[in-house]
Amino acid sequence: MLIEKHLLAVAAGIDTQTGWMRHVRRVPSPNCDERPAGSLPELIVVHGISLPPGEFGGPWIDRLFTNALPPGEHPYFEQIKDLKVSSHVLIRRDGEVVQYVPFHRRAWHAGASSYQGRERCNDFSVGVELEGADEIPYEPAQYRILSALIHELCEAYPSLSPTRIAGHCEIAPGRKTDPGPAFDWQRLHALLRATA
């Protein structure tokens, strides 16, 4: 079963020397830099993304995060053609994990943001994108993979904790709405407790 394959890939763990997951697809993004001296990943930020909006599949998220999105392919792409953004990982609808930025580096996923009074969340967070949209239910496979990924991250980086997870909407209220009301936080927390 495909979900089991993706779970095994996540369970293979993270090489903390390189910051890369061992057995997931890698699409290195140039949109990252070093974290500030002394900064460790302490927060996991959950995002939702679809390109074009509300559509799933295709190469467009990879292309966005590698500055190769062709503006002529869709009217929406013209609006975002100059964005320089990334995330550490993406969980696709079927549960496949794609990694763009090593975890010890700073991905450009949060933008202007604040968590518990601390500004610039990119400095101290890991960004996890879920392929989805605010009002469309996320897939069961995505919750299972996200839960497994959180456990692997917390094992590899003791500065992280399953209690320090926030939606993009929580760290950038009024500016961002993802992962949206369709994201079932109770389901995620139940999975995290069940596999603790």
Please give the distance of CA 60 from its chain centroid, rounded to a whole number. Answer: 15
Residues 160-178 have a mean pLDDT of 97
Class of CATH domain 2-51+87-194: alpha beta
When the pLDDT of each residue in the chain is averaged and rounded to a whole number, the result is: 97
Per residue in 109-152, pLDDT tens?
Answer: 999 999 999 999 999 999 999 999 999 999 999 999 999 999 99
pLDDT of residue 1: 75
The yes-or-no verdict on residue 196 having pLDDT over 90 is no
Burial class (CB in 10 A: 0-12, 13-18, 19+), 18: exposed
* Separation in Å, CA 53 to CA 16, 119, 194: 34, 28, 33
Q: Are 48 and 83 in contact (CB under 8 A)?
A: no
Provide the token pair at 35. Answer: 């974290």
Q: Which residues are catalytic?
A: 129
Residues 157-185 have a mean pLDDT of 97
Domain ranges across the chain: 2-51+87-194
pLDDT of residue 195: 79
SS3 191: helix
Per residue in 29-88, pLDDT tens?
Answer: 999 999 999 999 999 999 999 999 999 999 999 999 999 999 999 999 999 999 999 999
Per residue in 17-39, pLDDT tens?
Answer: 999 999 999 999 999 999 999 99
Strand pairing report for 125-131 and 43-49 = parallel
Give 174's contacts (C-beta < 8 A, 6+ positions apart).
Answer: none
What is the rounded (10 degree) CA torsion for 154, 112, 178, 92?
-50
